[in-house]
Structure formats: structure tokens, C-alpha cells
């Protein structure tokens, strides 16, 4: 897929909670097609301490308005600087980057997002819904504050929630959700994105139930376009770049 570099205009910077915000960006030309799981490399030009671009999954796309959005968690100087952008500011993006999720073998699929890892699941649930699949979306977080905009997924599938402290949904980790003791066998695919330990747990559970599982990795990146080889992940076929050959990988191929 052809990659682009464009100056987007910030149309809205939506502060969802203290920690999470969604930034809506207007493309100066027609948006190219963007696949679920793809990401953008964002130039942070309003932070004195951020040098490299920062990768973020593409959260939502509105082809009619020529807009895309990013869902971001404040974790360091770069993301905090992005949270300060205002309507009318400019943001330079390299996009769309990386591969995408593959379609499930059967009707039902489980989409799991941990914290801000939920971001790529919005486009995926939309696509699956459009194509006639039945996605269930399981959102996990440490507390209810980490369950971000769960209502966005409602139109496309059923939404389930877990939190470590039980402040929203079921208490426990995503893999302890009752879905896994119940209808898990109905899923013909599991898709997940989130913190490392969660990804490992999901991969293990998927393997136990023999369900194909794809996860989206968040390896640190320098270029995002396959030029530096910094973002590699070990697979059974050797080192693969997360930015070009990923970020979505079949868990059976990974050395987790």
C-alpha cells in the first residue's frame, strides 16, 4: 500500500478523561483507504524533549469528512504535548502504515482491547460488522477510568468490560472474563491489543482453545517504514519488522 505524508488540521481535541484523549484530524487531500490495525507516525512539534515520531493506531476514519482520529493515552512528554494541540493546529502524519487483521474463518469473533489498546478495535469491529460478522468486544482496564468510550463499539457488536479492581464490568483480567468459561468456543478468531502480559495471556488462552489469534504489537519504533530495523519481533521465521510486517501478527508465529 502506498504511504503518504501529510499535514493534517486538528478539527477537535477531545479530552475524554485526564489520561485519555481523542484527536480528530482533517486530511488536506482525499484520504486513502485505511485498514483496521494500521497506524500513523506522528511528528510532535510542540515538545522540546520529543525527537522521533510517535506511532499511534488509527482509531476511526470518516471518509466523508475526510477525517481520521487517534485515541491516545498520556504516558510521556510526546503524548502530553499532543494533548495540548488545539483546533486549527497542524499535525504531520506518515500513514497508513503496517499490515492489518485477517478476516475470521467463521461468523463470530472476539476483539480484546486493554486500556488504550482498544484503539485499533474500533475500525476492526466496524469492518467485521459491515461484512456480516458478529464481533464481541471485550474491553479491559485497570479501573473504570481506563475503559475509554466503550459506547463507540455498541453499533457494531456486543461490548463486555473487565477491570482489575471491579470498578466497571467484571472484576479481573480480560482472560478471566466469563466469556472464556462460556461461549469462547464459538469464536473463530480472537484479536487483541494491549499491554504485553495481557497479550501473552490472550495468546495462551487462544492456543488452549485452538482459536486463531492475532495481536497487534506496540514495539518501539524509530522510522515506521521499514528502514531502520529497530522494531523487530522474533518469529519462527526469524526477525520481522513490526512496522511493515506487523503490527498485527498471528500468535502462533511469534516467540512469545
Partner 1 sequence: MLDLSVNVHKLLLKNPVMSASGTFGYGIEFDDFIDVNRLGGILTKACTSKNRDGNRYPRMAETPAGMLNSVGLQNKGVDYFINTIYPKIKHYDTHIIVNVSDSTVEGYMEVAEKLNQLDKITGIELNISCPNVKEGGMAFGTSCPMAGAVTKAVREVYDKTMIVKLSPNVTNIAEIAKAVEDEGADSVSVINTLLGMAIDAEKRRPILSTITGGLSGPAVKPIALRMVWQVSKAIKIPVIGLGGISNATDAIEFLLAGATAIQVGTANFVDPQVCIKILDGIEEYCNRHGVQDVKELIGALES
Ligand X SMILES: Cc1cc2nc3c(=O)[nH]c(=O)nc-3n(C[C@H](O)[C@H](O)[C@H](O)COP(=O)(O)O)c2cc1C
Q: How far apart are the first and last CA of the chain?
A: 28
Q: Is 34 helix (H, G, I), strand (E, B) or coil?
A: coil
**Do 198 and 114 meet the contact criterion of CB atoms below 8 Å apart?**
yes
Binding mask 53-72 for partner 1 (x = CB under 8 A): x-------------------
Of residues 183-212, which lie at the interface with ligand X (CB under 6 A)? Answer: none
Q: Which residues pair with 134 in a beta bridge?
A: 108
Binding mask 218-237 for ligand FES (x = CB under 6 A): ---xxxx-xxxxxx------
Does the bond joining 96 to the residue before it have cis omega, within 30 degrees of 0?
yes
DSSP track, 161-216: EEETTSSSSEES-GGGSGGGTTGGGG-SEEEEES-HHHHHHHHHHHHHTT--EEEE
Minimum CB distance to ligand X, residue 41 (Å): 15
Q: Which is nearer to ligand FES, 43 or 222 (CB)?
A: 222
Of residues 217-236, which lie at the interface with ligand FAD (CB under 6 A)? Answer: 218-221
Q: Does 173 bind ligand FES (CB under 6 A)?
A: no
Give the residues lining the site for partner 1 (CB under 8 A). 2-5, 43, 49-53, 94, 219-234, 238-239
Give the residues lining the site for ligand FAD (CB under 6 A). 39, 50, 54-57, 71-73, 75-79, 116, 119, 218-221, 247
Amino acid at each position: 500500500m502506498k504511504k503518504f505524508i501529510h499535514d493534517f488540521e486538528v478539527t477537535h481535541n477531545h479530552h475524554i478523561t485526564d489520561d485519555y484523549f481523542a484527536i480528530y484530524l482533517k486530511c488536506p487531500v482525499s484520504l486513502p483507504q485505511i485498514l483496521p490495525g494500521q497506524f500513523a507516525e506522528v511528528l510532535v512539534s510542540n515538545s522540546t524533549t520529543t525527537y522521533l515520531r510517535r506511532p499511534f493506531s488509527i482509531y476511526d476514519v470518516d471518509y466523508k469528512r475526510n477525517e481520521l482520529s487517534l485515541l491516545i493515552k498520556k504516558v510521556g512528554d510526546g503524548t502530553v504535548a499532543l494533548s495540548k494541540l488545539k483546533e486549527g493546529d497542524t499535525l504531520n502524519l506518515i500513514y497508513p502504515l503496517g499490515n492489518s487483521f485477517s478476516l475470521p474463518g467463521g461468523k463470530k469473533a472476539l476483539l480484546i482491547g486493554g486500556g488504550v489498546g482498544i484503539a485499533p478495535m474500533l475500525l476492526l469491529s466496524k469492518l467485521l460488522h459491515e461484512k456480516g460478522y458478529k464481533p464481541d468486544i471485550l474491553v479491559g482496564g485497570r479501573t473504570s477510568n481506563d475503559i475509554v468510550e466503550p459506547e463507540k463499539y455498541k453499533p457494531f457488536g456486543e461490548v463486555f468490560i473487565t477491570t482489575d479492581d471491579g470498578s466497571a464490568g467484571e472484576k479481573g483480567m480480560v482472560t478471566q472474563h466469563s466469556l472464556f468459561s462460556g461461549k469462547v468456543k464459538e469464536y473463530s478468531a480472537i484479536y487483541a491489543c494491549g499491554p504485553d502480559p495481557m497479550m501473552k495471556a490472550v495468546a495462551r488462552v487462544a492456543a488452549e482453545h485452538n482459536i486463531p489469534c492475532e495481536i497487534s504489537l506496540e514495539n518501539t519504533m524509530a522510522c515506521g517504514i521499514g528502514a531502520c530495523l529497530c522494531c523487530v519481533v522474533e518469529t519462527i521465521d526469524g526477525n520481522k519488522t513490526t512496522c511493515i510486517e506487523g503490527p498485527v501478527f498471528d500468535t502462533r508465529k511469534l516467540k512469545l
